[in-house]
Amino acid sequence: MAEIENKTIASIYEHYENVQKDWRRPHLGASVVGGKCARAIWYSFRWCAAPEFPGRILRLFQTGNLEEHRLVKDLRDLGIVVYDRDPNNGASQIHYEDPECGGHFAGSLDGIGHGFRESSAWHVLEFKTSNAKGFAALKKNGVEKAKPEHYAQMQCYMHWSSLARAYYFSVCKDTDEIYGERIRYDIDVACALTENAKDIIFASEPPARLSVDGESYDCRYCAYKNICHGEQLPEVNCRTCAHATPVLTGNKGQWICARAANGIIDLEKQKRNDCMLHVYVPALIHADVSDADSAAGTITYSDGTVNGPGATSSLELRSSVSK
């Protein structure tokens, strides 16, 4: 008789949940900038919600990462030259920061390579995995239509690396079939993505929703649905605070706090949720502001709630809003 509950398997999944990497990426990533909803991208950049993936899904993500190594070996076995690590620092991926955003917008390449059967040119390399349905869409429609976020990601990488071609590989998780497509650099697309990134990064409030209906096709499975539609408040950290602002200092991206002693907030401080000066960006509260006291650092809402020092802390406010 089969076991009803396998404690060892459950422990494996739990381990993945316990050791998962920090979800708070310092920058807006090239992998997300091509998303359909600018509001969701803004929430992501502002660390509004921790992703909630069960251990099985986290293990599935690792399977995708392992497939990258296998594809690199497949290509090298054919005599294709592949760099999947920075030649100047073999321990890390090839990383680029957008010069117009000073590190607020960045990404790491899966690799670059040359010596392909189709061309001797250097290519940006992008490795993905897909289920059978997504793989069929790729074969029918190509990357640009079937996986627009992946297409945008490669356009950013080509823009930053000054390479004119990219090679996209996707492995079907159901059949192990490999899809490959060479992509041309499109400067208009790349520049538009940079402008979109700048608009999102330096916006003081979240952009407009895609839909007012949280159960619409575009919103139903979004990680930020409850925050977007007022059913919960975001995480408490510097990036959800009205006092903090992303800025460009020379060519360096920084976060500045209007109430901190030296103004600059380093990455570790940004992650803290115990700052008593924290006050939510008003647009995240989904309520009308009746007063803002800059001296006290508080914001008062039309229902009488006062958020800030000496009043209702953001942590208390967050715990009280649950639907």
pLDDT in tens for each of the 323 residues of the chain? 455 568 899 999 999 988 888 899 999 999 999 999 999 999 999 999 998 889 999 999 999 889 999 999 999 999 999 999 887 776 789 999 999 998 999 999 999 999 999 999 999 999 999 999 999 999 999 999 999 999 999 999 999 999 999 999 999 999 999 999 999 999 999 999 999 999 999 999 999 999 888 888 889 889 999 999 988 999 999 999 999 999 998 889 999 999 987 799 999 999 999 999 999 999 999 889 999 998 899 999 999 999 999 999 999 999 987 55
Here the tokens at position 227 are: 């925050």
Return the pLDDT at 228.
94
Assign 3-class secondary structure to 268-284. HHHHCCCCCCCCECHHH
Alpha carbon 58 to chain centroid, angstroms: 16
3-class secondary-structure state, position 305 = coil
Return the pLDDT at 5.
65
Return the pLDDT at 1.
45
From CA 69, how far away is CA 66, in angstroms rounded? 5
From CA 72, how far away is CA 90, in angstroms rounded? 15
Strands 105-109 and 28-29: parallel
Element (H, E) at 165: strand 165-172
**Complete edge-to-edge strand list for the sheet that includes strand 165-172:** 81-83, 111-114, 123-130, 165-172, 178-184
Residues in the chain, how many? 323
pTM metric for this prediction = 0.92
Domains and CATH numbers, the chain: 19-201 (3.90.320.10), 233-320 (no CATH)
From CA 271, how far away is CA 262, in angstroms rounded? 17
- φ/ψ of 160, rounded to 5, equals -75, -35
From CA 256, how far away is CA 238, in angstroms rounded? 9
Return the pLDDT at 51.
85
- For CA atoms 266, 270, 50, 242, give the dihedral sign: negative
**Beta-carbon neighbour count of residue 39 at 10 Å?**
21
Residues with Cβ < 8 Å from 177, sequence gap 6 or more? 135, 171
DSSP class of residue 102 equals: T
